[in-house]
Each structure stands twice: as C-alpha cells, then as structure tokens.
Amino acid sequence: SQQGEEDPQALSIQEGENATMNCSYKTSINNLQWYRQNSGRGLVHLILIRSNEREKHSGRLRVTLDTSKKSSSLLITASRAADTASYFCATDRRGSNYKLTFGKGTLLTVNP
C-alpha cells in the first residue's frame, strides 16, 4: 500500500495566494512531518505534527491532521515566488520506529 500520498501532484498559483496541499496515508502513525525540497537539493524540515494533535502553525504554514480520515493538509498563506519547491509529507508509522515513509510530493509553482 502507498503511504503518504500527496495531492495535487502539481499546483501553480500567483504570488500572494494561498496554497493547500494534501496528504493521505493508510496505516496508523506516530507523527507526520512535512518537508520541502528545492529542485535537486536537500530536504528541509518544515513542521512535525503528532498523532494526538489536530493543528499546528509555524509562520505562514498551517498543518492539520485528521487521524480518522488518515489525512493531513499543509497550507501556505500569502505565498511568495521563493516558496516554489516540492513539498512532501512523511509518516512515522506505528510499529516501525525508525523510518520515515515519504509520498511522491506536490510540486508548487508560485508565479510572481
């Protein structure tokens, strides 16, 4: 089964708009993390939300987690051209205490 599937696969918006990306997963998790990757570069950690949390904020980022639906969303408000990147969710699955399982990611393009 696929764990950590993001949608949409690609999103193109104008600067100043909000961007919402979703992630679904199939098994119970300990926590869910969102990462960002600029083209061909490393993974930058954005935010971690634990399974007993429902919402978390960090600057312009807002993450929600619905464990009953096994889904999470990442909202970037007032987007900037510099937010252009791929965004991945990664789950830390219950019973597997070490590894993160990544989705395929959403490619966000913010047009100036």
Partner 1 sequence: EPEVTQTPSHQVTQMGQEVILRCVPISNHLYFYWYRQILGQKVEFLVSFYNNEISEKSEIFDDQFSVERPDGSNFTLKIRSTKLEDSAMYFCASSVERVGETQYFGPGTRLLVL
21, 92, 106, 108: which one contacts partner 1 (CB under 8 A)?
A: 92
Whichever of 11 and 102 has its CB closer to partner 1, that residue is: 102
Q: What is the DSSP string of 34-77?
A: EEEE-TTS-EEEEEEEETT--EEEETTEEEEEETTTTEEEEEE-
65, 100, 108, 110: which one contacts partner 1 (CB under 8 A)?
A: 100
> Would you tell me which residues interact with partner 1 (CB under 8 A)?
30-31, 33, 35, 40-45, 48, 50, 88, 90, 92, 96-105
